[in-house]
Amino acid sequence: MKTTFKISYQINDIAKLKGQFIFDKKSNTAVISENDIAIILSELTALIIDLKKKHKIYQFNYSIGLIDENNNIDTPKILFTDEKTLFNEVSKYSALTSATITYLQATDHGEYDSRIWEDCENPLGTQAILSLVSKDKKWMPEYIYFLRTCDLDHEVNQGGDIEELIEQYQWNEETCTLAIARLITCCGQHGSEQFEDLLEDGLSDYIQENKPLFLEKLIEEFKYALDSDSCYSPSLNASKEDYLSEFFEYIEALNTIFDKNDFDKINTYLSKYWDAFNAKE
């Protein structure tokens, strides 16, 4: 009997949108090999891309099983019950990094043009990106981008994940950049409060010792917010006074850390951006 894998899935928590996808296990080994995991991830990603063309997907969950001489199509041996169990295995293989990024891209842009949910609490892709960034902080830019694709007005575990990453890596350029993003484009429900907590947990000292770097990263974050027309960015169509006032409200927590020269640098950058934008009108 041919050995196959079975992906069982459900879309939008609707019974009639349940389905399954079956494909061959190509390796001859009894155990699940790296090549098997690579094929599973590739087929899963392709399935999600295909289903997105047919359905407006805001929620998608899956399990993956094995069908062989001992396990039939209706009762496969369950290998992975969800995204977390799958990426616990995927993360063992550095060669699957690129495939993980492709999966992350596929699970973005669901209905309402935001990241698809796995369930009522977890955005799909969470375990995929955490499997990368928890192993190497070089993936922090990708993690920040991932957060920007999530609906952070309904955040659940993101604050805890951010806290764990900062605790793991301590304060450096990567975690400093994460903290800044949490204040601006990844603010969501609790970003401002978490940033204030981070200041008390060592970020304030890090800023004082690395102020030029912090200012550089803060301005880069402002630029991203403005270039992407982030929902957390003040409107460039507003008056210059209102636009600047709203931006400075975002960084009120830095009032006791920045001096006049620091604020002048920020004001100069933001003013030039507003001037250039409105000169086009």
Structure tokens at 262: 């620091």
Name the residue among 44, 46, 48, 50 with its Cα closest to residue 64: 44
Q: Last residue of a domain, which of 79, 102, 124?
A: 124
Mean pLDDT, consecutive 10-residue segments, the chain of 281 residues? 93 92 90 96 98 96 93 91 98 98 97 91 97 98 97 93 98 99 95 97 98 98 91 86 94 96 98 93 58
Contact indicator for 60, 118 with CB cutoff of 8 Å: yes
Cβ partners under 8 Å of residue 106, min gap 6? 45, 48, 49, 52
Q: What are phi and psi of 64, to 5 degrees?
A: -130, 130
Same domain for 92 and 159, yes or no, is no
- What Cα–Cα distance (Å) separates residue 6 from each residue in 21, 23, 63, 83, 178? 6, 7, 8, 15, 38
Same domain for 107 and 173, yes or no, is no
Same domain for 120 and 143, yes or no, is no
Same domain for 83 and 212, yes or no, is no
User: Tokens 């460039």 label which residue?
Assistant: 236
With respect to residue 278, please indicate whether it lies within any of the assigned structural domains.
yes
Grouping H, G, I as helix, E, B as strand and the rest as coil, residue 23 is strand
The number of C-alpha atoms within 13 Å of 89 and in the hemisphere containing its C-beta is 19
Same domain for 11 and 115, yes or no, is yes
Q: Last residue of a domain, which of 63, 97, 124?
A: 124
Structural domain span for residue 45: 1-124
Same domain for 166 and 111, yes or no, is no
With respect to residue 129, please indicate whether it lies within any of the assigned structural domains.
no
Same domain for 193 and 240, yes or no, is yes
With respect to residue 146, please indicate whether it lies within any of the assigned structural domains.
yes
pTM confidence score:
0.94
Same domain for 144 and 221, yes or no, is yes
Q: What is the pLDDT of residue 281?
A: 58
Same domain for 111 and 206, yes or no, is no
Same domain for 119 and 142, yes or no, is no
Same domain for 112 and 141, yes or no, is no
Contact indicator for 263, 215 with CB cutoff of 8 Å: no
With respect to residue 257, please indicate whether it lies within any of the assigned structural domains.
yes
Query: In the chain, how many domains are there?
Result: 2
Q: What is the pLDDT of residue 9?
A: 98
**Residues β-bridged to residue 117:** 59, 123
Q: Read out DSSP for 34-99?
A: HHHHHHHHHHHHHHHHHHHHHS--SBEEEEEEEEBTTB-SSSPEEEESSHHHHHHHHTT-GGGHHH
Q: What is the pLDDT of residue 71?
A: 82
With respect to residue 206, please indicate whether it lies within any of the assigned structural domains.
yes
Same domain for 93 and 195, yes or no, is no
Contact indicator for 168, 161 with CB cutoff of 8 Å: no
